[in-house]
A and B are shown apart, each in its own frame.
Chain A
């Protein structure tokens, strides 16, 4: 029985070792995106987004969100129009988190006359707390000619890690 056990342990160690070498070799090409959803202890999510302020004839549309990303789709009709979106991120998990990244990527082929700005979110997000931050979409007031494209969406991505 003991010999049998030794063989199994040896086989396991060889398998894990092989896997580790493979991992080291593949690590540079692995596509590692965002945060792992380790349920139970981690539950940091975007819980809401709404257009809280509109200026001029702007229409905030119907912004959507997933657990870690929010998508805005503003329609601005004249220079100076703007929409302010307020996004709420909540930590329902049991670990204190720090928001490490908030990335806002405006649509590449959208109107260049539409600009996005955002306030930096509160970094510390202790277990059971929430934070809000704003994204402002503005139709450039210096534009004098009507652009071809009048819409530009943007996607915001939130990333987090454990607070020390």
Chain B
């Protein structure tokens, strides 16, 4: 692994050393590390990088054009993210919005981001021919951004660890890889533009879309892939326009559309939703490991569900899919008596209309096993699966 000059070698050794210090300090001196040491280290890195970049500034062809395109992309992304709140809802941003708070956040959160992107810029731009080194730099920068305290604090709870990993670590891997790709083709400016706007959006807005870990993770993975797709296939005019390239392009476009569709489906944006089946209480209609697709219905339809239909309903955090065996009127309101096909007796509790999520449409065999296994791994009784 050859570095072009001794200064870059020193910088890489410094970053690796700092990564080790980060991991060590994260356990016993986390507060000192996150409030003082980390911002200070990256502040020094910024001054050093500006000096270095000034000395060896290379102007790239079409650089301004790419920067402008990234500016447009990030604005569209943030407008989309903000508007997502109209569907999902908004929540108060926990960030302080006083002048003191904003300055503190710039010091603590924005400076490390700028520092990391400048390091990426210096090391990648000058070592374009060394793909192994670019991979190593990307890996180190990913590891440098991991919050080890949070990672290990969540490790005792598999469910929280899974959520943390999906909403924070996975997007970090995807985005950092795409930033390195952009850096490889242009300079540090493209990732920096995206990240500065993104963090400013988080820090300055008094409200924020109330997105959960699943949406955060999905956006964090899909958006970098879209950026990669746009730059690779539309903006960077790489001379490799053969059939394979075209096939890759359509494959990736299809994957992105499918991923967006899947996320929207899981979030319940469509008329149909699905639930994984955990028990055999409805055997032989469907069994453990199957997926039941159900249709959401309106208030009028809720009161007229025919006997013998299978309904999907909730009890607390549980989702159950059982068959209606009787319609009961209790204090003037309609309730349904349900029973699992394999069970000897009806369910003990009547189902009220507000508990009902929808009516069974079809089931797909075996597709629910990953969710069932994951559920068993988490050992969570109130999981989003049907139980006996």
Interface residue ranges, A against B (CB under 8 Å): 5, 8, 12, 15-16, 19, 26, 30-45, 47, 64, 90, 92-97, 126-129, 159-164
Q: How far is the CA of A43 from the CA of B147 in the complex (A)?
A: 11
A35→B207 CA distance, assembly (Å): 9
Does B153 contact A36, Cβ atoms closer than 8 Å?
A: no
The majority secondary structure among interface residues of chain B is helix
Residues of A within 8 A of B92 (CB): 32, 34-36, 159, 161
B34 touches A94 (CB 8 A): yes
B interface residue count range (under 10 / 10 to 19 / 20 to 34 / 35 or more): 35 or more
Determine how close the nearest CB of chain A comes to the CB of B160; give it in whole angstroms: 8
| Chain A residues within 8 Å of B109, by CB | 41, 94
Contacts of B30 in A (CB 8 A): 127-128
Given A16-B79, A41-B109, A164-B98, are A92 and B153 also a contact pair (CB < 8 Å)?
Answer: yes
B94: chain A residues within 8 A (beta carbon): 35-36, 38, 42, 44, 95, 97, 160-162
Given A33-B91, A36-B210, A39-B213, are A94 and B108 neighbors across the interface (CB < 8 Å)? yes
Please tell me if the beta carbons of A164 and B101 are within 8 angstroms of each other in the complex: yes
**How long is the Cα–Cα vector from A120 to B236 in the complex, in angstroms?**
58
B55 interface residue (CB < 8 Å to A) = no
Question: In the bound complex, what is the Cα–Cα distance between A41 and B35 (angstroms)?
Answer: 12
Complex formed: what's the CA distance from A128 to B29 in Å? 9
Is B370's beta carbon under 8 Å from chain A? no
Q: What residues on A are CB-neighbors of B72 within 8 Å?
A: 8, 12
Which of B13-21, B82-90, B245-253 touches A? B82-90
A5 vs B93: C-alpha distance when bound (angstroms): 33
Q: B202 at interface (Cβ–Cβ under 8 A)? A: yes
Interface membership of B231, Cβ < 8 A = no
Interface flags, B306-324, vs A, CB<8A=1, else 0: 0000000000000000000
Assembled-state Cα–Cα distance A106/B96 (Å): 31
Contact residues in A for B160 (Cβ distance below 8 Å):
45
